Structure 1
Amino acid sequence: MSDTFDGETAIVTGASRGIGSGIATKLAEQGASVVVNYRSSERQAESVVDEIEDRGGEAVAVQADVSDRDDVAAMVEATVDRFGSLDVMVNNAGMTTLGPAADIDVEDWRRVIEVDLTGVFIGCQAAGRQMQSQADGGAIVNVSSMMGEMGFHMRAPYCAAKAGVINLTRTLAVEWAEDDISVNALAPGFIQTDITDQTQDSAGYTDDDIRRRTPMARYGTVEEMANCVSFLARGDTYVTGEVLRADGGWTSDAWRYREDRA
């Protein structure tokens, strides 16, 4: 195990599966005590905790709806009661809805915004207040998306929310720099997870479509995203207010669709 986060405590929201579980596991491997947040999948969250503990780490599963201010405040309080501090906050929990913008129900729009943008703000605010009270700095990493910087067919609420996360990140980085709290964002591209598998058909793309369009010609992995968050959460980089794109080169390239990658 690495000692990068030795003696520190991290909360990872939406950590019961996918990218969140990978981040939680990585931070624990590097010495952090980790709160594995979940909303409804307790069994999966406990499985992540078991995996961390089997590897010699320390973790606990805590239920909270990230869009509920009281839930998040209680989670931060429980974290400090259990581990003594909150040093790293990773706002990863998110959701999406797919459909033509003209047909999206306003309640579906609101739910995506509540979780993917308001939930990130609530998490940042609760963590920021705790870190300020500790007067020892800290790190916040918000998981946005490359879709927060471009338009994507059938994903209007998600793109809007993730764009908001990017500028929220920059704003909080400026406000909290004097408290030695870094605030950065990760903007993943297409990452291979079970969620990707569930939405792929309804979104109308195939594995080959992603491979042809991405300069690196593949999906990203959960492990790679966890490595990115680990870097952004470190306190020795002089990095704040940044958006780290981890998209295999997607946003750096003009439109491509290479038939020779079929």
Structure 2
Amino acid sequence: MDGKTAIVTGSSSGIGKAVAKRLADDGANVVVNSRSRERAKAAAEDIGGDGRTVVPIEADITEYDEVEALLEQTTDEFERVDVLVNNAGMTIIDDAETFDPEEWSRVIDVNLNGTFYCSQAAGTRMIEQGDGGQIISISSLLSRQGLAKRTPYAAAKGGINSLTRCLAVEWADEGIHVNALAPGFIKTDITEQTQESAGYTDDDIRDRTPLGRYGTLEEMANCVSFLAAGDHFITGEVLQADGGWLANSWGPTS
């Protein structure tokens, strides 16, 4: 990754921040992005140092003009973009029959529309550069399995899987690899905040996951690092990183 430039959206915390740190450790110039200038700056300061080059850029990925500005600032700073990690996302937990239409639109906007806007903007520049690139979008276990009270989130993540396959086929001739990572249950601040309202416990996750635990932020960052390096024959793939959850058709392992 030495000399390459990577943008990680929604990278002020959680998986995104872990990915940004790992790519910086791998030698990339990294753009940390958040809707909040303060959060982006704090994350960049936390990750930077020890030879890492990390730049914060504020942008709301649901606004196409701001996405364009994000790419312009990146290329102004580093002259190119080689890797895009579409990490920014959100969820709202509610019953399908009472879900507010504005909240539905917000979840779709952040998770799916924003992923397309960023992919389109970055892909256009990669095509102009002429030497390919890597686009990795963060999907979810719920893109392949239903769960109550998560309807718009699951629908958006399923859309990311389809978007990944379509862009991979369309941009293959340009040397652009487009893949997705679908995490299972990962221990993050958001997981802890929503766990009670979602109706599950740590023991529920451990009992249902063959590996017997949550995944870690570092493990997700390792997966993205592998895809971002580009020395593979993989495109249009959704890499499932769920500790064996989907493979386990029987239910609780204990």
TM range (shorter): over 0.9
Instruction: Say whether residues 1:12 and 2:8 are aligned partners.
Output: yes
- Aligned length, in residue pairs: 254
1:229 to partner: Cα distance = 0.5
Instruction: Say whether residues 1:155 and 2:150 are aligned partners.
Output: yes
Alignment partners' CA distance in 2, 1:250 and 1:102:
28
Q: Which position in structure 2 is the counterpart of 1:53?
A: 48
Root mean square deviation, CA, Å: 1.0
Q: Which amino acid aligns with 2:30?
A: V
Alignment partners' CA distance in 2, 1:255 and 1:112:
31
Q: Which position in structure 2 is the counterpart of 1:172?
A: 167
Instruction: Structure 2: state its 5+ residue gaps.
Output: none
Q: What percentage of residue pairs aligned between the two structures are identical?
A: 56
String of CA shifts for 1:72-124, please: whole Å, max 9, x gaps.
Answer: 00000000000110000000000001011111111111110011001100010
Q: Which position in structure 1 is the counterpart of 2:212?
A: 217
Q: Which amino acid aligns with 1:99?
A: D
Contact 1:189-1:248 within 8 A present in 2 as well: yes
Contact 2:40-2:58 within 8 A present in 1 as well: no
Q: Which position in structure 2 is the counterpart of 1:72?
A: 67
String of CA shifts for 1:135-191, please: whole Å, max 9, x gaps.
Answer: 111000000001001111110000000000001000000000000000000000010
Contact 1:12-1:90 within 8 A present in 2 as well: yes
Q: Which amino acid aligns with 2:123?
A: G
Q: Which position in structure 2 is the counterpart of 1:251?
A: 246
Instruction: Structure 1: state its 5+ residue gaps.
Output: none
Alignment partners' CA distance in 2, 1:44 and 1:132:
31
1:255 to partner: Cα distance = 4.1
Instruction: Say whether residues 1:31 and 2:27 are aligned partners.
Output: yes
Distance 1:255 1:155, change over 3 A: farther
TM-score between the two structures when normalised by the length of structure 1: 0.95
The runs of at least 4 consecutive aligned structure 1 residues that moved more than 4 Å come to none
Q: Which amino acid aligns with 1:87?
A: D
Alignment partners' CA distance in 1, 2:208 and 2:73:
44
Alignment partners' CA distance in 1, 2:168 and 2:69:
24
Q: Which amino acid aligns with 1:96?
A: T
Q: Which position in structure 1 is the counterpart of 2:39?
A: 44
